[in-house]
Chains A and B, each alone.
Chain A
Amino acid sequence: MARIGIYVCHCGHNIAGTIDVKGVANYAASLPGVAVARDYKYMCSDPGQDLIKNDIRDHQLDRIIVAACSPSLHEATFRNATAQGGLNAYYFQMVNVREHDAWVHSDKAAATEKAKDLVRAAVYRVKLHKPLERRRVPIRPEVLVVGGGIAGIHASLSLAAAGKQVYLVEREPTIGGHMAQFDKTFPTLDCAACILTPKMTAVRANPNITLWTLSEVVKVEGFVGSYQVTVRHKPRYIIDDLCVGCLECVEACVFKEPRFSDEFNVGLGKRKPVYMPFPQAVPQLVLIDPETCIEFKTGKCKKTCVEACAERNAIDFTQKERLETIEVGSIILSTGFEVFDPHRIPYYGYGVYPNVYTALEVERLVNAAGPTGGEVVLRDGRKPKRVGIVHCVGSRDEHTNRYCSRVCCMYSLKLAHLVKEHTDAEIFNCYIDMRTPGKTFEEFYNRVGEEGVNFVRGKVADVYPDGDGSLVMQVEDTLLGIVRKIPVDMVVLAVGLEAHRDADAVRRMFNITCASEGFFVERHPKLAPVNTFTDGIFLAGCCQGPKDIPDTVAQAGAAAMEAAALIDKGYVELEPMTASVNEEECSGCKTCIPMCPYSAISQKADVKKAFINEVLCKGCGTCVAACPSGSIKQNLFEDEEIFEEIEGVLAYA
């Protein structure tokens, strides 16, 4: 006969407010095999855990049940308490009477009956639990960081500072990301380049960081501690080690004037086929764009660039794409965001009226290194006298993105300040709600107001030309209760932040999850904000959701710390609820192999039987259910345990 201890948690009012916890404990005491049944205010507290440990000793308990919250919160806590009391940690079963019961029911009597049913099910099944041991897997000390914006840069530098080896992989020809395109940063108005570029050069200089630009991850295999990652290096047509970044080839290019859309300046400037993305690019290497280079298009270019490079001989038109596979123990994803494409809101006239700009375009216009040398001028060269800033473009809208992009109010205030400073124009910020919830943000709002910027509370409904070359912003001023038709020379669309267009492909490759809006999902919104549901893969920056630079840097630091902690511990313990194959019964039909979402199953070549790699198995149970001969079993979810649990829940008193 088992000797079971049962503990019913009040969780303050969370559970006890709906369920008669004493009644459940009393009922549990009457069940066969139950030696001790108690209720307690907070089982997860130290005294709560001590109850378990002491009872194991005093009452010679051999199985423990806690009826409390979700196992995802405190199963580990109570397994530890069980182990500290001297039992195998898996002689424990958790019953979720909070999320599954108290929180979702209002009928107290019925909720209490349900709690009794759930506890009884646990009593039936826990008797069959077997002792299990956690396995340890060693962690490789290298970390892969994917994406070289400020998040990836900061995470890489933090890890490198702790002596860890980092591979930083960036798809673009330079690191820096969106932050490199910004002029000043809110609310302090530090110059973005001044604070970013030292970190960029530090990445390049750090011996612990291997920086790969023009590279992307194409395949990920393995598991926490030992990931095999394949990286595709795209050709730069420049030999990294030979190029000194002197730009003589750019000067010498057969195109005397730059004439191709310049990506860094979001199309507002021009570049040549051979170019440096921007003056402070890291690495300081030029690249050749095969889409526009005459040599690639016709093979008949005079190649004045090669001439100019002379004995340095850094130009190589024959470079090919190449793949490289590396081994890392953990991965930080910092793949960033995309700005909302305002073509999707036709009534703001982006792409139709030349003087409608995105905020990112205006960042480049106000920047001294931008296409106009920091002059805020319209496409026809005029200086705008009146500028409208439209908030919430592609945010807070059922037709585009439902979420608030978090940074647009603040960057719109910043742009209002900067454009006013550059042009002395009259500025109109049209907003729905002004969101300035950050350290010294509200003070900045106040300052911009005092500078004379006009704030109009209302979502802009229409932008159209008024016939004499300027534009009209039509908006209800909801505070005045009138519809205003505000004539302006320039309209700035405060575009929101969106998940990267290939976020879904990335999440499949790294086997993590995306929420409906496309951002990667953290393991817990409060308590595990940089972890994912896949061990050893961490998140930093806007790939997890829109955020500003301080939050991004904080998150990048946290992700780096998580990765470093794994490395320093040296191993991970794996939960033992894995599946295994009974080789005698397995017919080798291979049904299970393609079913496994973790690629953990293969066929043993010699005996032609399925084999499950315990390290890769996450215990999802798919193969167990799929096996036609029932020859796969899963620890903690063996058929007998589940059948007993069902018997238990259905055995009404």
Chain B
Amino acid sequence: MASTAAQCQLDSVSGMTLDNILQFPEGHRILSCIQCGVCAGTCPYGDVMEYPPRKIIAMLRAGMVEKVFHSESLLNCVACYACMTKCPRDIRLTDILLPLMKEQALMHLPELPAELQKALQNTLRYGNPMGESSRKRAAWVKNAPVPVPIMNEIRRPVDVLWFVECYTSYYPRGQDTARATARLLHAIGADFAILGNEEKCAGECGRLTWEPGLFETLTDYNMAVFQKYQFNRMVASCPHSYNAFQRRYIPLGFTWPVDPVMAYLAYQIEKLKPLLTRKLNYKVTYHDSCCLGRFNDLYDEPRALLKAIPGVKLVEMVHNRMNSICCGGGGGGMWLDTYFKAKGHERLSERRVKEAVATGADVLAVSCPYEVSRFEDALKVLGFDKKMVVRDVTELLDEALEEQP
């Protein structure tokens, strides 16, 4: 979907002016904007932004670059790809234009929102936004139900390098996903290993948020680690890291085929199906994560996995597939909840769970590690936590897996 070369060129542009935006083919396309407003109309924060994407383009074309840079509008961009997916001129708003503008806007802020600043500093210092010790990254493995080999311990080539990512490694509910994934990989007989404490955040959110420097530090680090080992393919738990590897790391020499866990499992569904013997009598609604869905067209794979579970009844929310509503965690939104609250903006995770609850489902299935915590919080805040639980698709698959000795 994305033109990687154009992104790299644009990533390296410093000192953003109208002229150098127009210099690159992807930037040049803003000249074709017909000001239809579908971007603003579909943006989950379109009604609270001072300058929605349409207006930003109009202002850029009118030479009002500074005014755009001095507006806080773009802090609302949760990088959900909704505007880009519907743009009739196919202008690469979410992955190219808006991050560039956002970077400038953040630089012009008198003060960065504290929560965001902390997350970015943590990521730089500890390799994860929570500020947890990098030595504890693989701590979850001790409680894993199956052996989880670690590259620098086993010292042999593997077929699959599983990139676990931060939330899945540290956050307690994320670790549930990690353990479920480990059991599934084991069950289908995958020859896999993880990087353990050597792994650091892939950096996608950093790039879409601020500071390309932070992103480069992480990419350089991760690439050096990858190159130490021999593996055939990478499987990523976090759709954000999948995006980073698939699009941003390639120009840096990343040549391995990479799949998000959802797709990797879906491609082996025939192997998996006979193992899913326990009936789960759940009514499930699936939330399309922005990175898997809109940005990578992976709509059917998670649904195919859910449908493979005996007893599961899948229902759809009003906004589904390419029209899904973001959980609000992308583009740094994960660390802007306090900022949004101060501004009086509705939390998108709350908007989303209202739709989920309206389906009458009792399980909200997700595929991105951000969503578990965001939706669980939202359900609690709205008092729906008795009605509905949040489960990663891998957790549901794991639950349906036959008992293992």
A461 to B90, alpha carbons, bound, how many Å? 15
Contact string against B for A residues 472-490, beta-carbon threshold 8 Å, 1 for contact and 0 otherwise: 0011111001110000000
- Which of B10-18, B214-222, B314-322 forms part of the interface with chain A? B314-322
User: Contact between A476 and B41 (Cβ–Cβ < 8 Å)?
Assistant: yes
The total of Cβ contacts below 8 Å across the A-B interface reads 78
Within 8 A of B (CB), among A459-502: 459-462, 464-465, 467, 474-478, 481-483
Determine whether B157 belongs to the interface, using a CB cutoff of 8 Å to chain A. Answer: no
A346 to B41, alpha carbons, bound, how many Å? 16
Known contacts: A399-B88, A399-B90. The answer to whether A459 contacts B323 by CB under 8 A is no
Q: Give the distance to chain B from A215, nearest Cβ to Cβ, in Å.
A: 40
Q: Chain A interface (Cβ within 8 Å of chain B)? A: 346-347, 392, 396-399, 432-433, 457-462, 464-465, 467, 474-478, 481-483
Q: Give the distance to chain A from B315, nearest Cβ to Cβ, in Å.
A: 13
A39 to B42, alpha carbons, bound, how many Å? 61
A462 to B325, alpha carbons, bound, how many Å? 11
User: Contact between A459 and B322 (Cβ–Cβ < 8 Å)?
Assistant: no
Known contacts: A398-B90, A475-B41, A476-B41. The answer to whether A462 contacts B323 by CB under 8 A is yes
Q: Give the distance to chain B from A228, nearest Cβ to Cβ, in Å.
A: 46
A637 to B358, alpha carbons, bound, how many Å? 74
User: Contact between B318 and A398 (Cβ–Cβ < 8 Å)?
Assistant: no
User: Contact between B46 and A483 (Cβ–Cβ < 8 Å)?
Assistant: yes
Tally chain B residues at the interface, Cβ within 8 Å: 26
User: Contact between A459 and B47 (Cβ–Cβ < 8 Å)?
Assistant: no
Question: Which residues of the other chain, B, contact A458 by a CB distance below 8 angstroms?
Answer: 36-38, 40-41
Within 8 A of A (CB), among B186-206: none
B319's nearest neighbour on chain A, judged by CB, is A464
Question: Which residues of the other chain, A, contact B322 by a CB distance below 8 angstroms?
Answer: 346-347
Known contacts: A347-B86, A398-B88, A482-B47. The answer to whether A464 contacts B37 by CB under 8 A is no
User: Contact between B38 and A459 (Cβ–Cβ < 8 Å)?
Assistant: yes
A484's nearest neighbour on chain B, judged by CB, is B41
B82's nearest neighbour on chain A, judged by CB, is A461
User: Contact between B318 and A478 (Cβ–Cβ < 8 Å)?
Assistant: no
User: Contact between B36 and A478 (Cβ–Cβ < 8 Å)?
Assistant: yes
Known contacts: A398-B89, A398-B90. The answer to whether A432 contacts B36 by CB under 8 A is yes
A57 to B89, alpha carbons, bound, how many Å? 60
Question: Which residues of the other chain, B, contact A398 by a CB distance below 8 angstroms?
Answer: 87-90
Which listed residue (B46, B87, B90, B318) contacts A476, Cβ 8 A?
B46
Task: List 6 A-B pairs, minimum CB-CB distance, nearest first.
Answer: A461-B41, A476-B37, A459-B36, A461-B42, A397-B88, A476-B40
B358's nearest neighbour on chain A, judged by CB, is A467
User: Contact between B34 and A461 (Cβ–Cβ < 8 Å)?
Assistant: no
Which listed residue (A432, A457, A461, A483) contacts B86, Cβ 8 A?
A461
Known contacts: A459-B41, A476-B54, A483-B41. The answer to whether A396 contacts B319 by CB under 8 A is no
Name the residue in B39, B42, B43, B319 with the highest tally of chain A Cβ atoms < 10 Å from its Cβ. Answer: B42
Question: Which residues of the other chain, A, contact B233 by a CB distance below 8 angstroms?
Answer: none
Contact string against A for B residues 311-337, beta-carbon threshold 8 Å, 1 for contact and 0 otherwise: 000000011011100000000000000
User: Contact between A433 and B318 (Cβ–Cβ < 8 Å)?
Assistant: no
A458's nearest neighbour on chain B, judged by CB, is B37
Known contacts: A346-B323, A462-B42, A474-B42. The answer to whether A396 contacts B37 by CB under 8 A is no
User: Contact between B38 and A461 (Cβ–Cβ < 8 Å)?
Assistant: yes
Q: Give the distance to chain A from B222, nearest Cβ to Cβ, in Å.
A: 34
Q: Give the distance to chain A from B76, nearest Cβ to Cβ, in Å.
A: 13
